[in-house]
């Protein structure tokens, strides 16, 4: 049977459309905006978010490490090719042993340069050391002391400005919950920013013990925070992260190994009232730091570490920069003798 001309035209047009549709390339899948603050609207956008998260994890997991310090475990992230690690201050602090009270033990004075073991995602372990901390903001640094596996370099993640992060923005938390596990790579959790205020980021990313010190990333793969603590009453999905802006504010001090928020150290001596007088000891406190180190009344301090001391005022200027727990090398004149002692600065009574 022969179709009418109009019918033949419709049939041919339909066939052409079908052929062209089959030959046309598929539309590009939607891409997720890393700064977006709303939910996915459909399955395609959900897949776009999933793809963005996978890209971040693949990019950032190689630089997310587990840290072993003393008897504890935590996490961290490498942020430079020479092995600089950002972590939480409480991960690299010492605490009293045999603490049997109901509340958490108070940290002991911080000491820089102590040994830290750094475990990479491939489970290889390298040596590191503590640098500086700011205990108030829970920021800390560790330096890997060995050469990296890539021509001496380490994988690392860039650090972004945390102040630019928006409320409800999607973020990714990486870390080692409950400590490192054999055969398990860093664990990723997706969440959103609840609040971004001076001094803290709050998210609903699920965080538990062992994650402390681990990185919080935006969906561009930039470090924007470090896991610090859970929000009272300790729900798993309400957590505080130290913002990277807090690290940047103290960056040079942390890198130099300073205890940024340390209380001033206590020496335990009495000097002449005149600040211009020689720094001779009129009294030495019984069982104080100076006496324990071997200083005696009548000794005249002539050096504080490598700084020459010519007056009480100059000694006090050095003490203004010294912290509790710090070890100070003191040179003193005792009659015709020169004595050298190391004083561990104490806590002011």
Domains 59-255 and 269-344 fall in the same CATH topology: no
Domain residue extents for the chain? 59-255, 269-344
Assigned CATH for 269-344? 2.30.42.10
Q: How far is CA 250 from the centre of its chain?
A: 12
Residue 15, pLDDT score: 39
Per-residue model confidence as pLDDT tens for the chain (349 residues):
444 444 444 344 343 334 334 444 555 778 999 999 999 999 999 999 999 999 999 999 999 999 999 888 999 999 999 999 999 999 999 988 877 766 778 888 888 999 999 999 999 999 999 999 999 999 999 999 999 999 999 999 999 999 999 999 999 999 999 888 988 999 999 999 999 987 789 999 988 889 999 999 999 999 999 999 887 665 677 899 999 999 999 999 999 999 998 888 899 999 999 999 999 999 999 999 999 999 999 999 999 999 999 999 999 999 988 888 889 999 999 999 999 999 999 887 7
Tell me which architecture the domain covering 59-255 has in CATH. Answer: Beta Barrel (2.40)
Residue 325, pLDDT score: 83
Residue 199, pLDDT score: 77
């Amino acid at each position: 049977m022969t179709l009418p001309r109009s019918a033949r035209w419709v049939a041919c047009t339909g066939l052409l459309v079908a052929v062209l549709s089959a030959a046309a390339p598929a539309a590009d899948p939607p891409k997720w905006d890393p700064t977006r603050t709303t939910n996915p609207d459909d399955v395609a956008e959900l897949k776009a978010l999933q793809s963005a998260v996978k890209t971040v994890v693949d990019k950032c997991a190689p630089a997310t490490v587990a840290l072993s310090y003393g008897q504890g475990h935590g996490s961290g992230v490498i942020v430079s090719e020479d092995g600089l690690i950002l972590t939480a201050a409480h991960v690299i602090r010492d605490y009293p042993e045999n603490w049997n009270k109901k509340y958490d033990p108070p940290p002991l004075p911080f000491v820089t340069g102590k040994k830290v073991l750094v475990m990479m995602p491939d489970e290889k372990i390298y040596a590191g050391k503590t640098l500086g901390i700011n205990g108030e903001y829970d920021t800390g640094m560790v330096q890997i002391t060995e050469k990296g596996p890539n021509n001496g370099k380490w994988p690392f993640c860039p650090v972004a400005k945390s102040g630019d992060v928006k409320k409800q923005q999607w973020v990714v938390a990486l870390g080692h919950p409950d400590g490192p596990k054999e055969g398990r790579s860093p664990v990723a959790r997706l969440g959103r920013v609840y609040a971004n205020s001076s001094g803290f980021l709050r998210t609903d990313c699920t965080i538990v013990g062992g994650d402390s010190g681990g990185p919080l990333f935006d969906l561009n793969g930039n470090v924007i925070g470090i896991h610090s603590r859970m929000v009272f009453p300790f729900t798993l999905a309400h957590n505080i992260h130290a913002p990277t802006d807090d690290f940047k504010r103290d960056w040079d001090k942390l890198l130099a190994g300073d205890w940024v928020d340390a209380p001033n150290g206590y020496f335990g001596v009495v000097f002449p009232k005149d600040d211009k007088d020689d720094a001779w000891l009129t009294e030495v406190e019984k069982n104080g730091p100076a006496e324990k180190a071997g200083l005696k009344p009548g000794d005249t301090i002539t050096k504080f570490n490598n700084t020459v001391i010519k007056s009480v005022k100059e000694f006090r200027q050095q003490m203004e920069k010294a912290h509790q727990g710090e070890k100070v090398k003191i040179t003193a004149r005792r009659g015709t003798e020169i004595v050298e002692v190391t004083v561990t600065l104490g806590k002011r009574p």
